[in-house]
Amino acid sequence: MAEAGHLARTDRLRAAGLLAPAYLWLTVAVFLPLSAMAFFSIITDVPFGDTEWRVTAENYAAFLESPTYARLLWKSVLLGVKVTALCVLIGFPCAWVLAKMIRGRSREALFLLVILPFWSNSLVRIFSWAIVLRGNGVLDKAVNAVWPWNVEVNLLFSEWAIVIGLVHSYLPYVILTAYLALQAIDDSLIEAARSLGAKWWTILWRVVLPLSSSGLIAGAVLVFVPVVGSFMEPRILGGRMGTYYGTVIEDQFVAVFNWPLGAALSFILLAVVLAILAVSAPVLRKART
């Protein structure tokens, strides 16, 4: 018998007292900064000290005038698509094996083992790939040990290296969300489909995928969004190949010091991200229940 909507005065005060610190903190650390960035993106110069500045649309115009930015944004989006697709294709069967083919205590242990790397430092994991993939590195040696002909495997500083590193970083996300979705599917549904004579691909296509799609889409969004904004992974694994939209933004803030342009570029990226989140919001909401 919850009395929704009407709280007594004291309860309102208590709720406000408990919530205010956290939400004030988020306001100062996230929401005000995003607003500040919106402001920065429409001015000519950093308004600190006695620099002259005025309101302008130049920063956004720069994005439109130079084809480089749009090309890099497109490159980043493509990278996001590739990494997301690979994560889903590799992660879904893995989640299936975990959720439906392994039983008992070992399932929980294996599941933990799969998502554990996700909670370790991503920078360090990307760095470890650099060691594995470099010419004359571990992968090179391993391939040459089993392959009779001499080949040189040097994937470092290629797009492949970036994709491998990113898939490694975000694969556990997809496995986690797909596993949770698959686990929620009652085994008897699959048994019922089999008893009705359905072949395994029919079951996958007509029963399993529709029921786990919300989890899969949630996982895909959680991969896609950070990959589009990635800059550290391309830098370490891509070398000279590794110029992406994210690295250009990074440069504006740490190398070129053109903050207003960086803010405008960030805001365009944010718009892309928000558009994706908005489109997938109904599905995400469903996935959380």
Q: In terms of C-beta density within 10 A (0-12 exposed, 13-18 middle, 19 or more buried), how is residue 67 classed? A: exposed
Nearest approach, Cβ of residue 57 and another protein (Å): 18
CB 179 within 8 A of CB 98: yes
For position 108 contacting another protein by CB under 8 A, the verdict is: yes
Separation between Cα atoms, residue 199 and residue 85, nearest integer Å = 26
For position 82 contacting another protein by CB under 8 A, the verdict is: no
For position 5 contacting another protein by CB under 8 A, the verdict is: yes
Nearest approach, Cβ of residue 220 and another protein (Å): 13
For position 196 contacting another protein by CB under 8 A, the verdict is: no
Among the listed residues 94, 198, 207, 283, the single contact to another protein using CB under 8 A:
94
Query: Would you call 208 helix, strand, or coil by DSSP?
Result: helix
Q: Which residue has the tokens 């094996």?
A: 97
For position 42 contacting another protein by CB under 8 A, the verdict is: no
* 75 alpha carbon, distance to own chain's centre: 16
Among the listed residues 9, 51, 112, 195, the single contact to another protein using CB under 8 A:
112
Q: How far is CA 68 from CA 62, 116, 254, 265, 280, in A?
A: 10, 38, 19, 12, 29
- Ranges within 213-252 binding another protein (CB under 8 A): 222, 225-226, 228-232, 235-236, 246, 249-250
Among the listed residues 81, 115, 207, 211, the single contact to another protein using CB under 8 A:
115
- Residue 121 token pair: 């430092």
**Using CB under 8 A, which of the segments 61-69, 105-113, 150-158, 202-210 binds another protein?**
105-113
For position 151 contacting another protein by CB under 8 A, the verdict is: no
Among the listed residues 65, 67, 71, 128, the single contact to another protein using CB under 8 A:
128
Total interface residues for another protein by CB under 8 A: 96
- Ranges within 165-184 binding another protein (CB under 8 A): 168, 171-172, 175, 179-180, 183
Nearest approach, Cβ of residue 258 and another protein (Å): 12
Among the listed residues 71, 141, 206, 286, the single contact to another protein using CB under 8 A:
141
For position 205 contacting another protein by CB under 8 A, the verdict is: no
For position 277 contacting another protein by CB under 8 A, the verdict is: yes
For position 1 contacting another protein by CB under 8 A, the verdict is: yes
Nearest approach, Cβ of residue 121 and another protein (Å): 4
